[in-house]
Amino acid sequence: MEKAAIGTNDLGMHIVIRPISKDLLSEAETVGMETGKINSLLTARRPITLLDAISALPPLLPSSADSITGRRLYSVNEIMSGSCGIHFGPPVPELLRYETELSANTVLKSSIASARHAAKQIPCNGQWLTDVLGNADPDSTMVAVETLADWSMARSVIFLVAKLLSFLAAGSDAPMEDTGFARCYVECLDKTLWCIPFAFNPFFSSGKRGCRLLADKLTDYRSYQQLASILTHREKIGDFGTEDIYAEVFGSTSYEESGATFILTSSVSSKKYAGLFDGWNDKAERNYLLCTQVGYTQRNDAENIINAMIDSVSSLVISDGQISLGWKTDTSAWFSSRPVPSVKRNSLFAELLYRIVYRDSLNIGICRNCGAPFLQSGIGSLNDVCSQACRMTQRRRKGLA
């Protein structure tokens, strides 16, 4: 695995820069990835381990999505000569901390210490370009440049679907609460919603200069979260003073329909957004919430969320439906000598969720220590922790280490 680096783009968003073998760009590498690579992405706790997990995978979206989400692959010469047009700025630890953490009922939260360590150890600077790209074979190597925002959104989707599926499979009558959802009555919407922290709010300002600079350059949430802009459809659902309230809705349902799953966002000011919920403090303001209306049973509500997210990812298309980034039946299998059903996944993002949903004989475990979901064999004894680090933490708590 080649060493990845982290930097910021012209907007101030964090980006992952890594050399990537052209062999890793093949469809076989995307479809045939090891389960361990999926688990590494699900359970990464610190920025450096998250970058390690990303580095073992192909780009999240193929080059066919470049016209919508921006270019992701460059030649080594384009990066080294500067002709790529990207200005690589230094990482900002205060912002990196928030962009890499998961908040959905897990302890997988980045500390400022781990963010500062990552910013010091793997910055994209002249030394990294010389040491890593300067020694890369330009004929067999490309350079992937992707935003952490897109990777964080993809990870949140597969993470949440995996947790809900695990609790449903275990027979839980309260899978929403088990996953970390809380009931919130939103007076200005006159709705009682299930809510869970889901995505970093880029308009949140911790008072640090790097966070303020990012917020000042953004026009709305979609200018920051490009993956969400093609994964969801936006509906204006109300006004809060001078601020419009938007729902970024997953799947084909509308906001007003029963079972709708959506991210609540405000276009500009996070203060107005946070004011939707009485008593919420500055810490909660860091994240936008994934919501669905409280229904008859928690199991039905959990199924509605899963269905909406699978619908969004499996039917993900761009360019007026001409380019599929989700999954669909591979019709070429109809004409083979021994035809069998086959589903073609058209992006790594689709493959990641597909492997969570259609996991065959694998089970989804929930780590007793950190709360992260992970795939494991359904044969033999089942693990209750996701990693050796979590196992040791459990042993220390029991006084066994």
pLDDT for 20: 92
* Per-residue pLDDT reduced to its tens digit, 360-374: 889 999 998 888 999
Confidence of residue 285 (pLDDT cuts 50, 70, 90): low
Cβ proximity of 282 and 262 under 8 Å: no
Average pLDDT estimate for 166-184 = 94
* Per-residue pLDDT reduced to its tens digit, 190-225: 889 999 989 888 877 656 676 777 877 887 788 888
pLDDT for 273: 46
pLDDT for 232: 95
Average pLDDT estimate for 80-88 = 89
Angstrom distance (rounded) from CA 176 to CA 183: 10
pLDDT for 45: 84
Cα–Cα nearest to 226, from 65, 12, 93, 62: 65
What is the percent of the chain with per-residue pLDDT over 70, rounded to a whole number? 88
Q: Which two tokens stand for residue 338?
A: 């021994």
Average pLDDT estimate for 299-328 = 93
Work out the mean pLDDT of the chain and round it to a whole number: 85
pLDDT for 193: 92
Query: Does pTM top 0.85 for this prediction?
Result: yes
Going 158 to 159 to 162 to 163, the CA torsion angle's sign is negative
Q: Does pLDDT of 401 surpass 60? A: no
Average pLDDT estimate for 233-256 = 84
Contacts of 67 (CB under 8 A, 6+ apart): 318, 319
Q: Which two tokens stand for residue 254?
A: 């509308």
What is the Cα 50 distance to its own chain's centre?
11
Specify the residue for token string 């947790």.
163
Angstrom distance (rounded) from CA 197 to CA 156: 10
pLDDT for 312: 96
